[in-house]
Amino acid sequence: ADGVVELDAGVMDGRDRSAGGVACLRDVRHPIDLALAVMRDGRHVLLAAEGASRFAREQGVEMADPSIFITDRKRQELSQGADTVGAVARDDGGHIAVAVSTGGRTGKLAGRIGDSPIPGAGLYADDRHGAVCGTGVGEAFIRLGLCRVAIVELEHGMDPAEVAKKAIDWLGRSMNAAGGIILTGREGDPQAAFNTPAMPWAKRVG
């Protein structure tokens, strides 16, 4: 955006469905830290642009010069569409959480907000059912409320692997959009599905 990187991030806690999202950040070193601060503060769910940066300074979140986000490696990642990072987690007590961070689409308009910081679109967590996060064409995820829909499918008892596959099939069929999701149910292994040539992901137990 205007030669400057704008970053988004979101987190959600499945215990009480508290959430924090931040968008259009240019000077926060780790946007996910600010999203967590928004969630813990609890007054708002989504902060953007200068208001979010002001809140970051008030909370003591580490700031950065915008130029540090523009590197040769970052240019290459953006040209390949490799930018969004997400994680779903379930602990021994059955508590579930999700976090996502992204620089969004290459060549996006200044001020564009994608799905990553928006609960229900790019992420969702609920201890009763599971957690999910996505990557891909954010506008399509927002229009479909894709991650919330996936949680509803888990709520109705659908197998997590089938939920993931169905969600991505729907994304491609209804929006002609590319993307992928990772999700975990209340038990069992995490699952992933995507309609892109590849989507690197991994799981860790213990």
For 27-63, write each residue's pLDDT tens digit.
999 999 999 999 999 999 999 999 999 999 999 999 9
pLDDT above 60 for 82 = no
Whole-number pLDDT of residue 75:
63
End-to-end CA distance of the chain: 40
Q: Beta strands 46-48 and 18-25: pairing type?
A: parallel
- Burial level of 59, CB count in 10 A (0-12/13-18/19+)? middle
| Alpha-carbon distances of 4 from 7, 22, 49, 163, rounded to whole Å | 10, 17, 13, 37
How many other C-beta atoms can be found within 10 angstroms of the C-beta atom of residue 82? 13
Percentage of the chain beyond pLDDT 90 is: 87
Known catalytic residue at 84: yes
If you classify domain 7-194 with CATH, what class do you get?
Answer: alpha beta
User: Which residue in 84, 102, 135, 184 is the catalytic one?
Assistant: 84
Angle subtended at Cα 202 by Cα 196 and Cα 204, rounded to the nearest 5 degrees: 160
Whole-number pLDDT of residue 73:
67
Mean of the per-residue pLDDT values of the chain? 94
Q: Residue 152 — pLDDT band, cuts 50, 70, 90?
A: very high
Whole-number pLDDT of residue 176:
99
pLDDT in tens, 93-150: 999 999 999 998 888 999 999 999 999 999 999 999 999 999 999 999 999 999 999 9
pLDDT above 60 for 81 = no
Phi, psi of 140 (to 5 degrees): -70, -40
Give pTM, 2 decimals: 0.94
- Residue-range domain boundaries for the chain: 7-194
Which two tokens mark 96?
A: 């579930």
